[in-house]
Amino acid sequence: MPLDTDWALAWIRTAAAVVSERRAHLVDLDREIGDGDHGENLQRGFAAVLAKLDGLGGDAVPADVLKTVATTLISTVGGASGPLLGTAFLKGSQAVAGRAELDAEGVVAFLEAARDGVVLRGKAEAGDATMVDAWTPAVDAARSAAEGGAGPEAVLRSAADAAVAGAVATEPLVARKGRASYLGDRAIGHRDPGAESSSYLLVAAADAAEEVRS
C-alpha cells in the first residue's frame, strides 16, 4: 500500500502512542542530563496534534498532515523540541507538498528537508549529541536504500534502523548543544533524549507503513 494520507495519519497516531508509552523513559533520560521535561513536553505536543488531525478535510494530502503536526508542535511543546521538531515537519512537509503519496525518492526528500530544518533551527552538527545524530544517519541510510532500488517502505525501515543506532551512538559523546552542554564530560555515557525520541518517530513511520500494507 502506498505512503498516502492514511499512512501519514497512521504514522502520527502511532508516534503519539509511542511517545505516550515511553514518556517516563524520556523523562528519565532528560533528567540525567537536561531539565527532565522532554517526555512530558512531547506527550503534550502529540496529544494536541491528535486533536487537530480530526479536523483535517477529506482531501488532505500527506503534506497537510505533516504541516499540521509542525504548527501544533511549535505551539504546544513548550521546550526546545517544539521549534526543532516543528521546523523538521514544516520543512519536510514543504519538500513533499501536493503529492498524494510518497515514493522512495519522496521519503528521502522529506527526511532530508526535515533534517536540514533541525540543523537550521538548532545549529547543531552531527556528533554534538542532539537529535541531528538520529536524523542524519536516517537520511544517509534512506538515500542509499533508495539509490539501491528499495521501495518506500524499505527506505523508511532503513531510516528508522539508522536513527535507532544513531541515538544509541550518542551515549559516548560530549553534548555540545542545549542544556546537556552545561555538563561537559559528565554528559558522556548518557543517551541524548532528543535523538531517542526522534528515533521513535521514524520507527513509527516505518511501522505504520508496514501496518497499512498488511
Partner 1 sequence: MTGIVVVSHSRMIAEGTVALARQMAPTTRLVAVGGTDDGGIGTSFDAVSAALATAGAGGAEVVVLCDLGSAILTTETALDFLDEAERARVVIADAPIVEGTVAAAVAAETGGDLAAVAEAARSATGVAAPHADERLLRGADAVERSAVIVNASGLHARPAAELVKRAAAWQSDVTLNGVDAKSLIRIMGLGLPAGSTVHLMATGPDAEAAVDDLVAAIESGFGEDWV
Residues 138 and 92: beta-carbon distance below 8 Å:
no
Q: Which one among 39, 62, 79, 106 touches partner 1, defined by CB under 8 A?
A: 79
Q: Does 74 bind partner 1 (CB under 8 A)?
A: yes
Binding mask 136-155 for partner 1 (x = CB under 8 A): --------------------
Residues 41 and 23: beta-carbon distance below 8 Å:
no
The C-alpha atoms of residue 34 and residue 101 are separated, in whole angstroms, by: 38
Q: Which one among 87, 93, 136, 170 touches partner 1, defined by CB under 8 A?
A: 87
Q: Does 212 bind partner 1 (CB under 8 A)?
A: no
Smallest gap from Cβ 59 to partner 1, in A, equals 25
Q: Does 178 bind partner 1 (CB under 8 A)?
A: yes
Q: Does 82 bind partner 1 (CB under 8 A)?
A: yes
Provide the grid cell at 179.
Answer: 542544556
Q: Does 106 bind partner 1 (CB under 8 A)?
A: no
The site for partner 1, by CB under 8 A, has a size of 19
Smallest gap from Cβ 95 to partner 1, in A, equals 16
Q: Does 127 bind partner 1 (CB under 8 A)?
A: no
Smallest gap from Cβ 133 to partner 1, in A, equals 17
Q: Does 83 bind partner 1 (CB under 8 A)?
A: yes
Q: Which residues bind partner 1 (CB under 8 A)?
A: 35, 37, 41, 74-76, 78-80, 82-84, 86-87, 121-122, 177-179
